[in-house]
Structure 1
């Protein structure tokens, strides 16, 4: 582990993020561009070969789509029983799944305005929290803590009431194991064991949060000061609050491209037909021509075995494209991870550069760039695309290994012994921990790259040793603050979810009695707006706060090493942080 292990020396010329910098990790930048071009080529090839209808609609024994207009088996076709008999490939499962999907789609069409209202409420609450944190950080932190405890407490109370109310209902004591999987998810809400599980889960969460708050009560006061400083920084860089929209748009493109390419790749196989015999023949199960072709009926196989049939067997192919199809799927997954991690890394480095320019500005905001976000984004893309690609590549390799381990575990289900299970479990646990560690290192490395403009490896080593020299402060300030911000996200999700549930159940006010939609699954709008929508919106706003806290944290650690509080080397941190760290700037000596 090479790198700078000693504290950074005082540099009178350092005034914040360095503008005179060069390109870093150029080789990885070139590799990333080449892989992106290859990714585009894979997408074009898949789109020209695939047929997504194979995923949606069942096929018959000849590989023909069932019930589709314009096909030999449209809705008006008759099915005969005998020698050209049809059998459906997983037809029952496909039909049932399609019915569930259609019901969910109908729920979306019926409740889209409630979902939109929930998302708007989540955005307004998040913005309100950000504004209040700017002026009332200390009070808001304690309000968040109390509100989270109360919201979870109400959840326990509500689940307990439901559990008691089902005591007298017939069939409510059926266990979830005996019930099995049901497409009508509302059935589970009539089982007492479901509400008991909710009570246990919420109670565990409540106890864990309360215990953490008890043991960290003194540290919370320190974290509040850091949140106040982050609020002040965001006040000077308000455009940072809207940057997650840009990240979300890029991630949406990456996810959509991966999903579409994956579907077309998985449906680009050709139908393979084989000979099926009722009597034993030497050429049984050999590949044959399709049954719709007259070739098989006049072939030597048919003459030797009159009972033989040429039927659809599976989807495959013998071309070079089909032989390497699994490799193309692997490439699609790997590039998805790489591109998604790159977009996330770009957002982290951009925000880090903007907030670092705030911290190191001697006179705020006069010494800050006119547009901190745009300046930082431009530096990141112009000089450090290679560093972003390098860090994202390392993380993607670990993630793809985790995917392979899960794939191997799935394939070996039922055939592996205890030793193999234990080994796979250990490997999955180790790579999970390694992924978390690499994410932590990458995040801090991007901050150092944004400030000093060095390559990824140098920046990662500098950040690592800087944090190791301040391990106690890392645990006290950084992680406690992350925990408080997580409570804020939980509170927003809980408030929006409960509000929407009351509205859908016509329990909010009488004015909504005739407006709540009739849904197949009431959990659809609740799940979308609460878990997906509200959490993503809250996470987007609070992730800016978290990045601001991490950047300011590294900056004032550097500040402590560079400066000593004298008139010649004054600390650049705010008075709040000086008070937290029991530091102060000495006044200039009188003449």
Structure 2
């Protein structure tokens, strides 16, 4: 089993290698194409603090993150260009005045000093972009985004409060609230469809609205797309398909939806006793922030540890063996190597460290995935241990241990870190393989080899399925680890076979509960988003004066919606973990206990009624307590009438009599002890004849008759 020291050792190795060889100044300060810093004292570019890109669009390449080198010429300049011209225009202006050339020569590649050269050197400033302009734009965008986030904080706080109140209300009104969620989502989608149809009808009379989205292209102003009919048609079709899908699921899975609602109500009861679990995602968020910071810093140090590599370039045909080495500022004037110079090629190196730098980046990525999955595994194991302590308590809430969340977290850190790290490593390796396959897919995107593309597509699909399976099995394995404290492999094996023995319940309830929780997240995010929309568009008369002035309300609106969904997802992830833990504990409880006095069920009667087996199985969906009438029959009477009462606690399930019972059906035919009736209802099992026996009836039996007639044979007790 992998221990936690292995993870820490990997982190320390990658950090030491990166910090020993890395130079973060290459990231913090701009460098030109020759590896020299811009605006740094003691360098030739001390008075040129601005980096100028010939074509910054070429920097949109994933390889830039690895080599920190954009595949276009870069220069340090004093200020950005403020005019545009082609090389031919500049030649024409140069003949009139040399001031034009003095201005543009600072933006030309080194070595190009003659404006009268031929047209094969085309200088096109309209394709050039200066990073100072981009930086100014980026700074403005960042400031605007920060302002939008500050404006949106109220909506985020509202979503936080709404999510918390929603989960608290599930404790008392689970069925009502969940059905309200389903109906509200249906009406919300219907309102969206109506709004889209109204906008579409208005645009039918607007000229130019029939233009296709593809013809419009990319625009930062979203209002451009909202003026197109095709945009609203896409919205309308998407909402319609979602509406139909939800309605179909409710029609064909309405019984399962009711069972899932009851299971969620039981989970809300467990969370009401352990309210601290709702705030554990804050700990996970902090751990994930640390992991992301570690990965980003290490990746930057690794990427900046390359050295500048220079190569000979030749303006005319010559032989390299006849040329001597020159620096960048000196150009050879020897006839045998005319025009050769030593120019910057890329960041790299010839040492073993530089040759395997890409492998180190992959290793750093693997460690990052490992740490992220370990943090999530720690959350799942901690929550599972807390909720399992609720389930296995004989008396609730008296037997629930104090501070169950802290106790579970302590056990996970002290005893289960190896199991969590091993499960996280398996998942991280599969995720790394998927990332490599995506990288290869990007490289082969322009290839015409259909066989390789087909094989790659199959591999991507297989590893996607494998990742989903491992993620699901790890989740259940961590639950078993939290309950019994066994190692990861044993826990995963037991969880797998336990789920396979209850595959019908798993297939239906797991998906239905996830669907209901998803509807809850959509309701919260959508509801807060609608309120934010009316707020930013000043359609709420009461608070119009408090609305800040915004040039574009889409950024804060999207921030509110996305933030609300993430906040709701954090709360509901705890809820989903509670449901999975209770369900797995229930399946294990059914196999380990039989409901008798020696091995009583530890589940609540309501949970047993929700998920119990039918009357054809070992466990009935309803457990009935037979309460004898206070008026006992006379000694010569052979018939006894009893009342049926649903049990409220586990103790009430015991039969109070010291008699053996022989059951008679309605037709008068006797039913053998311990066998099922082959006659009409009621269908009854007589499991035992000793004190403490339990009679189990199907739900159909209870609806068909209100009383059962029993013939009793009283036995005297002997010493």
TM over 0.5: yes
Q: Quick one: structure 1 residues 486 and 33, their matched pair in 2 at CA, closer, same or farther if it must change by over 3 Å?
A: same
Q: Aligned partners of 2:407, 2:353: CA distance in 1, in Å?
A: 45
Contact 2:393 2:399 in 1 (8 A): yes
Q: Cα deviations across residues 507-547 of structure 1 (Å, max 9, x unaligned)?
A: 23363256333235x3322222212x112210111011100
Question: What stretches of structure 2 of length at least 5 have no aligned partner?
Answer: 51-77, 80-102, 114-122, 613-620, 624-649, 659-719
- 1:472 corresponds, among 496, 504, 516, to 504
Q: Aligned partners of 1:286, 1:178: CA distance in 2, in Å?
A: 53
Q: Aligned partners of 1:285, 1:590: CA distance in 2, in Å?
A: 112
Q: Which residue of 1 aligns with 2:48?
A: 73
Q: Cα deviations across residues 267-323 of structure 1 (Å, max 9, x unaligned)?
A: 43333333332211222999965414xxx44x6x86633333433333323333322
What count of residue pairs does the alignment treat as equivalent?
Answer: 555
Q: Which residue of 1 aligns with 2:590?
A: 560
Is the partner of 1:357 in helix, strand or coil?
Answer: helix
Query: Aligned ranges for residues 363-382 of structure 1 at < 5 Å?
Result: 363-382=395-414
1:528 aligns with 2:555: no
Q: Which residue of 1 aligns with 2:607?
A: 577
Q: Which residue of 2 aligns with 1:37?
A: 12
Q: Which residue of 2 aligns with 1:461?
A: 493
- 2:146 corresponds, among 109, 112, 122, to 109
Q: Which residue of 2 aligns with 1:401?
A: 433
Contact 1:111 1:517 in 2 (8 A): no
Contact 2:315 2:338 in 1 (8 A): no
Q: Which residue of 2 aligns with 1:9?
A: none
Q: Cα deviations across residues 416-469 of structure 1 (Å, max 9, x unaligned)?
A: 422222111111111111111101100000000001110000000000000100
Q: Which residue of 2 aligns with 1:173?
A: 210
Contact 1:349 1:450 in 2 (8 A): yes
1:541 aligns with 2:571: yes
- 1:84 corresponds, among 99, 111, 114, to 111
Q: Aligned partners of 2:271, 2:539: CA distance in 1, in Å?
A: 38
* Offset of residue 217 of structure 1: 0.6
Contact 1:275 1:287 in 2 (8 A): no
Question: What stretches of structure 1 of length at least 5 have no aligned partner?
Answer: 1-24
Contact 1:334 1:400 in 2 (8 A): yes
Q: Quick one: structure 1 residues 43 and 277, their matched pair in 2 at CA, closer, same or farther if it must change by over 3 Å?
A: closer
* Offset of residue 43 of structure 1: 4.7
Q: Aligned partners of 1:101, 1:130: CA distance in 2, in Å?
A: 40
Q: Which residue of 2 aligns with 1:16?
A: none
Q: Which residue of 2 aligns with 1:587?
A: 654
Q: Which residue of 1 aligns with 2:273?
A: 236
1:213 aligns with 2:250: yes
Q: Cα deviations across residues 189-243 of structure 1 (Å, max 9, x unaligned)?
A: 3333222222222222222222112221111111111111101100110100111
- 1:188 corresponds, among 225, 242, 251, to 225
Task: State the superposition RMSD in angstroms.
Answer: 2.8
182-191 vs 438-447, which deviates more? 182-191
Q: Aligned partners of 1:95, 1:168: CA distance in 2, in Å?
A: 44
* Offset of residue 96 of structure 1: 7.7
Is the partner of 2:26 in helix, strand or coil?
Answer: coil
Is the partner of 2:320 in helix, strand or coil?
Answer: coil
Q: Quick one: structure 1 residues 492 and 277, their matched pair in 2 at CA, closer, same or farther if it must change by over 3 Å?
A: same
Q: Hey, which of these two has a bigger chunk of strand by percent?
A: 2
Q: Quick one: structure 1 residues 286 and 42, their matched pair in 2 at CA, closer, same or farther if it must change by over 3 Å?
A: farther
Contact 2:15 2:298 in 1 (8 A): no
Contact 1:145 1:487 in 2 (8 A): yes
Structure with greater contact order relative to length (CA < 8 Å, sep ≥ 6):
1
Q: Aligned partners of 1:401, 1:304: CA distance in 2, in Å?
A: 51
Q: Which residue of 2 aligns with 1:152?
A: 189
Q: Which residue of 1 aligns with 2:716?
A: none
Is the partner of 1:52 in helix, strand or coil?
Answer: helix
Q: Aligned partners of 1:72, 1:302: CA distance in 2, in Å?
A: 33
Query: Aligned ranges for residues 91-130 of structure 1 at < 5 Å?
Result: 92=129, 98=135, 101-130=138-167
Contact 2:312 2:342 in 1 (8 A): yes
Q: Which residue of 1 aligns with 2:67?
A: none
Q: Which residue of 2 aligns with 1:135?
A: 172
Is the partner of 1:314 in helix, strand or coil?
Answer: strand
Q: Which is higher, the Rg of structure 1 or of structure 2?
A: 2
